[in-house]
Structure 1
Amino acid sequence: MTPPPGWYRDPSAPHQERWWDGTAWTGHRRAPEGFGAPVPPPPEPPTVPLTTGGGTGRRQSGGDGRGKAAALTAAAAVLVAAIATGVVLLGEDEDTGTGAHALPTAATSTAPAPRTASPTSSPTAPEPSADGPAVVEDQLNGITFPLRDGWVRPRYVPEHDVMMTTDGTYDCPGDGGVCRHGLVISRTVTATAENSPKALAEQDIEAAADDAYDRDTAGGEPFGGLESHEVVGSGSVAVAGRAGYYVRWRVTTAEGPGGYVQSMVFPSTVGTESPILVRYVFDAGEDGPPLADMDRITEGIRPVGDAGTGGGVGSSIGPSR
């Protein structure tokens, strides 16, 4: 069994934490438990005192029975804790349909060095303060998204990089399952040495359309399959004070009204780390979110702690690479 998704000590940099997606490491890193705090050491495995026959001391009568009882008691406690953790994890998998299926982030084959992590922990941002604007924070990439009317923080969504969804769900028109009319996804690009926002956005858009409207992770077709697409927009875009690039498709599906998919890439706002990819998935038709929300959300993306650095389509701060 592998450890559940969560933050663990980075085996290549013990002073920071790295996100484990349940099967392998991702490229996401952060300072432990809030910037500047020390990383707590991994928990020690439970030990069971054993009676040995070495040395000059004489083992007292009944000592062997007490050692076996202690060992059995400790083993039973570990088994109960493992079963309880499994029940919690299974309980959180309810209502996992999304209507748009994000690819898992790129990972390596290195196993994690586990530390204590709550099975309910996730990179979802905390609730904003009552007197502040409604935003969702992407702690991994150091940016915030405005939470517009009709949008909510993700609940019961299996992909950890979904930043927000439209409020409510509906029955998918194809193979069944639960769909959502809109998703905004943010992830770090780590699977390629390419760092040009234009090239990365053009490479990602087809995968974004397939994940959203073709087949889900179980091989089903929630919308009866993807039939065609049309490029309805592309070009330079300023995001959080950085020069990026976007590509937008209008897709047609076998069932349902189809939708709009956009891939947008821009340099990281934190140092010179990997580029950031933001995907938008909007259902078409009267039930889908306003298409203008793509641009409004883009204009409202900010570096964490910097409310004055914006952007948007048509903004110019220099050429994208």
Structure 2
Amino acid sequence: MSMTTPPGWYPDPGAPGTERWWDGVAWTAHIRAPGGQVIGPQPVAVVVAPPARRRGPLVALAVLLVAAIVAAVAYLGRGADGPPATSTSPGAAAPVNPPSLKASSPPAPDPHTLVDQLNGITLPIPDGWEKTDDLATGLVTMATKDTYDCPGDFGYCHHGKVTTSTATMTDLKTAEAIARNDITDAANDAYDHNRGGARPYNGITSHREMRAGPVVVNGRTGYLVRWEVKTGAGPGGYVESLAFPSTVGSEAMVIARFAFDAGAAGPPLALMDTITRGIAPIGGALNGGVGSSLAPPSR
């Protein structure tokens, strides 16, 4: 079985960001941008014709002798392990090895972007925030990097947190209905009690609605409800449920939950709107955001 690398365009090891033609035997002078136009004449592949079926004894001996010489030269040119060295045309870059057929490694995740693959969206990660793994809920989550001792029950708390998920209330059809239905659970999960039963802020003592109304998210009309909550311990905080339709699949409703501590240590409340404006489809450009032609939200 032949191990020869087939002819084709491969990343040029001598000139990152370009591709060079491998003709099946050696590198050529033909280069191009990845997937772009060829610079210079079109390249060709070298095709080695199969040997004839019948050869006389002298011809067969000559073929074997030539093959042995070529193998010896190739071995000396590449060393014990690597592929043979090659030459290039004058003025061209000088890669020495044939291209590798191994799959390239996937790019490292962008530390400034939170990706929700299921719902087909990305969110900007603000400075001082990071993607976190919410093992209790499995939700796509980002939170402030710094933590502090919770003022109520034991544990560590974040000054800010944002999660995204697919809405599961199938009987609710509008973004407004979903956001209004979700806000109580969002507030309880953030400031009343966690899934383990602990009360990191000694529970919610009261709340008031600060804002509610339609909002454009990624070019689609959604709806937000924002509460201010007071807690038994600590300064309390602000909670928002934002519902909007996804642009992928069945266009199911997406819920983004925001929980920001009040007080000087908490994130600025305007950051909720900044993150909302930055929501975009995976691999796509922004398509709308807070502050469209919609009427101002109430309260």
For Structure 1 versus Structure 2, the TM-score category normalised by the shorter chain is 0.5 to 0.7
* Residue among 277, 292, 295 paired with 1:315: 292
Deviation at 1:149, TM superposition (A): 1.1
Helix, strand or coil for the counterpart of 2:198? coil
Q: Which amino acid aligns with 1:228?
A: S
TM-superposition CA deviations, 1:225-281 (whole Å, max 9, x none):
100001111111000111000000000001000000000000111143320000000
Deviation at 1:195, TM superposition (A): 1.9
Change (3 A) 1:153 1:271: same
Give the match for residue 125 of structure 2.
147
Is residue 254 of structure 2 the alignment partner of residue 266 of structure 1? no
Q: Which amino acid aligns with 2:109?
A: E
Supply the distance in 1 between the matched residues of 2:108 and 2:123 (Cα, whole angstroms): 13
Is residue 110 of structure 2 the alignment partner of residue 128 of structure 1? yes
Give the match for residue 155 of structure 2.
177
Supply the distance in 2 between the matched residues of 1:220 and 1:292 (Cα, whole angstroms): 29
TM-superposition CA deviations, 1:197-219 (whole Å, max 9, x none):
00110111011101111111122
* Residue among 181, 197, 201 paired with 1:219: 197
Supply the distance in 2 between the matched residues of 1:138 and 1:270 (Cα, whole angstroms): 12
Deviation at 1:126, TM superposition (A): 5.9
Count of aligned pairs: 191
Query: Does the CA-based 8 Å contact 2:116-2:140 persist in structure 1?
Result: no
- Paired residues for 1:1-321 under 5 Å: 127-128=109-110, 134-155=112-133, 157-312=135-290, 314-316=291-293
Supply the distance in 1 between the matched residues of 2:108 and 2:220 (Cα, whole angstroms): 25
Change (3 A) 1:200 1:191: closer
Supply the distance in 1 between the matched residues of 2:286 and 2:218 (Cα, whole angstroms): 9
Helix, strand or coil for the counterpart of 1:265? strand
Supply the distance in 2 between the matched residues of 1:241 and 1:164 (Cα, whole angstroms): 23
Query: Does the CA-based 8 Å contact 2:134-2:141 persist in structure 1?
Result: no
- Structure 1 length as normaliser, TM-score? 0.56
Supply the distance in 2 between the matched residues of 1:316 and 1:167 (Cα, whole angstroms): 35
- Structure 2 length as normaliser, TM-score? 0.60
Helix, strand or coil for the counterpart of 1:266? strand
Asked which structure has the greater RCO (Cα within 8 Å, sep 6+), the reply is 1
Helix, strand or coil for the counterpart of 2:132? coil
Change (3 A) 1:292 1:239: same
Task: Calculate percent identity across the aligned residue pairs.
Answer: 50
Deviation at 1:286, TM superposition (A): 0.8
> Of the two, which has the highest radius of gyration?
2
TM-superposition CA deviations, 1:182-205 (whole Å, max 9, x none):
111100012322120001101110
Supply the distance in 2 between the matched residues of 1:307 and 1:195 (Cα, whole angstroms): 27
Supply the distance in 2 between the matched residues of 1:174 and 1:292 (Cα, whole angstroms): 27
Supply the distance in 2 between the matched residues of 1:220 and 1:307 (Cα, whole angstroms): 41
Query: Does the CA-based 8 Å contact 1:135-1:147 persist in structure 2?
Result: yes
Change (3 A) 1:189 1:287: same
5+ unaligned residues in a row in structure 2: which ranges? 1-106
Q: Which amino acid aligns with 1:255?
A: A
Q: Which amino acid aligns with 2:153?
A: D
Deviation at 1:156, TM superposition (A): 6.6
Deviation at 1:159, TM superposition (A): 3.0
Deviation at 1:179, TM superposition (A): 0.9
Change (3 A) 1:126 1:274: farther
Q: In angstroms, what is the RMSD of aligned CA positions?
A: 2.3
Q: Which amino acid aligns with 1:256?
A: G
TM-superposition CA deviations, 1:10-42 (whole Å, max 9, x none):
xxxxxxxxxxxxxxxxxxxxxxxxxxxxxxxxx
Supply the distance in 2 between the matched residues of 1:244 and 1:156 (Cα, whole angstroms): 25
Q: Which amino acid aligns with 2:126?
A: R
Change (3 A) 1:194 1:156: closer
Give the match for residue 41 of structure 1.
none
5+ unaligned residues in a row in structure 1: which ranges? 1-124
Query: Does the CA-based 8 Å contact 2:134-2:140 persist in structure 1?
Result: no
Deviation at 1:150, TM superposition (A): 1.6
